[in-house]
Amino acid sequence: MRIAMGQLASGTDTAANLHAIDGFAARAAAGGAALVAFPEYATYEKKKIDATFPTVAQPLDGKVGTELARIAAHHGIALVAGMVEASPDPARAYNTLVAFGQDGSQLAAYRKVHLFDAQGFRESDFVAPAPATEPVTFDVDGVRFGLMTCYDLRFPEQAQALSDAGSQVLLVCSSWVPGELKTKQWRTLLAARAIENSLYVAGVCQSPPVSVGHSLLAGPMGEVVAELGTVPDVLAADLSPAAVAEVRKHFPTHRQRRIR
SS3 149: strand
CB atoms near residue 179 (< 10 Å)? 12
Q: Alpha-carbon distance 39 to 83, whole Å?
A: 9
Residue 34 carries which DSSP code? S
Is the CB of residue 87 less than 8 Å from the CB of residue 94? yes
Q: Alpha-carbon distance 63 to 69, whole Å?
A: 10
CB atoms near residue 188 (< 10 Å)? 12
Burial class (CB in 10 A: 0-12, 13-18, 19+), 242: exposed
CB atoms near residue 176 (< 10 Å)? 26
Could you write out the DSSP letters of every residue in 1-28? -EEEEEE----S-HHHHHHHHHHHHHHH
Q: Alpha-carbon distance 23 to 171, whole Å?
A: 20
Spatial neighbors of 68 by CB under 8 A, at least 6 apart, are 18, 21, 43, 79, 81, 83, 98, 100
- Catalytically active residues, by annotation: 40, 112, 150
Spatial neighbors of 27 by CB under 8 A, at least 6 apart, are 4, 234
